[in-house]
Amino acid sequence: MSAGSITRRGAHSWRLKYEGGEPDPTGKRKTRYVTFRGTKREAQVELTRLLDEVRAGTSVEPSKLTIADYLRGWLGSDPDLAPKTLERYRQLAEQQIIPHLGGIALQKLRPAQVHDWLGVLLKGGGKGGRPLSARTVGHARRVLHRGLERALRLEIISRNVARAVPAPKVNATEVDILSAEQIGDVLHKLNGNPLYPIVVFALGTGMRRGEICGLAWGAVDLDKALVRVERSMEETAAGLRFKPPKTRAGRRSVSLPPNVVDVLRAHRRDQMAQRLLLGLGRAGTDDLVFPLADASPYPPDKLSRDWGNVVRSRSLPKVSFHALRHTHASALIAAGLDVVSVSKRIGHASPAVTLTIYAHLFQSKDDMAAAAIEAAMRPRR
């Protein structure tokens, strides 16, 4: 049975001594020493926890590795993370985690510190001390949680303290969409602009920005009015790359409305003429449907910037390019399409994701359904 003792080191500092680690051939465990700051009662609780870990076989070797060093080592190159995800995780670690928790030894991080850290971010974790949104704070917590889970698997720590502290609640907000009247006005004002076919396609398919930028003609069948979503274009600091969909649901076929087929046929004719002027010849199956004017790939971030510029220059409704995808989904819901069908068409991992984003729209349909049942059950006279 493991034993331990507590020795005072200072006014609020204690040395915890106990036997831990794997026993040697004689059955003896290595003596470990841990410095603990707090009251004697808290030190006794900590020693009990450490001894429980030894008995359970989950005890780990004490380490002075800090959270900053651990996170930077993990995010230096993790093959399990996509480049874009890795880039975002590094940003959150450097801006939101390390400035507040970086100097703490990884093994000494406690739930109370994680709780206080989230509160600090919510109150003034942004640039210039501005508050951060609950969603952004939740993203930062997810990075810490995922990093601690990895450390737990590698037996660097004995528990993931972030599990005990939930992410801040994100208030449900209705997504930005274009109304039916606004759609017509947007398309009228965009007619003749290079973005016109892209916007028509986005509204007609609900495809993601990266999926649109990565679409090749070989995945388009205009005769069958069908598009196969097989890849996406990802943009990071390292450049552009094609990547497969994140989930099985992301790889899908999307039927095209007749007006979208007509716009794509006209777009292909214009593209062929442009390619001939550039001396590139006819577009092949590997050539992109929506490249830049010089036939090079259209970076997704540039597409968003170009959309923002045309919104301002042509006085269009102030919504993001991603709102075109939301507009498509809301139109499907308004037409009475069930959540499973909507989820499959727009490539969500599950209908639960669709419900989370568009719950308010399905609620309005449910209200209509209740009214219809009421009318059906009303006694006849």
pLDDT tens-digit map of 118-162: 999 999 988 888 999 998 999 999 999 999 999 999 888 889 999
Asked if 61 contacts 25 with a C-beta cutoff of 8 angstroms, the reply is: no
Q: Is the pLDDT of residue 360 over 90?
A: no
Q: Is residue 274 within 8 Å of residue 267, measured between CB atoms?
A: no
Which pLDDT band, with edges at 50, 70 and 90, does 374 fall under? very low
Backbone φ, ψ for residue 194 (5° rounding): -55, -25
Calculate mean pLDDT across residues 328-355.
89
DSSP H or E run through 232: strand 232-236
pLDDT of residue 281: 84
| % of the chain with per-residue pLDDT over 90 | 58
- Write down the pLDDT at residue 317: 94
CB count in 10 Å sphere of residue 291: 17
Dump pLDDT digits (tens) for 282-294: 888 999 999 999 9
Going by C-alpha positions, the residue among 49, 70, 127 that lies closest to residue 95 is 127
Q: Lowest-confidence range among 96-105, 152-161, 303-312, 313-322? A: 152-161
**CATH domain 67-164 topology:** DNA polymerase; domain 1 (1.10.150)
> Which of 75, 59, 55, 57 has its CA nearest to residue 67?
75
d(CA 251, CA 269): 28
Q: pLDDT confidence of 377, banded at 50, 70, 90? A: very low
CA torsion sign for 267, 300, 214, 281 is positive
CA distance 356 to 302: 29
Residue whose tokens read 């577009």: 283
pLDDT of residue 373: 43
- Considering the chain, what is the average pLDDT of its residues? 88
Q: What angle do CA 353, 359, 362 make, to 5 degrees?
A: 115
> Can you give the pTM of this predicted structure?
0.71
State the pLDDT confidence band at 372, using cuts at 50, 70 and 90: very low
Q: How far apart are CA 348 and CA 251, in angstroms?
A: 10
In angstroms, the CA 88 to CA 285 distance is 33
Tell me the domain boundaries of the chain.
4-56, 67-164, 180-367
Confidence band of 73 (pLDDT split at 50, 70, 90) = very high
Average confidence (pLDDT) over 87-93: 95
Instruction: Indicate if the pLDDT at residue 50 is higher than 80.
Output: yes
What one-letter code names the amino acid at 229? V
Q: CATH code for 180-367?
A: 1.10.443.10
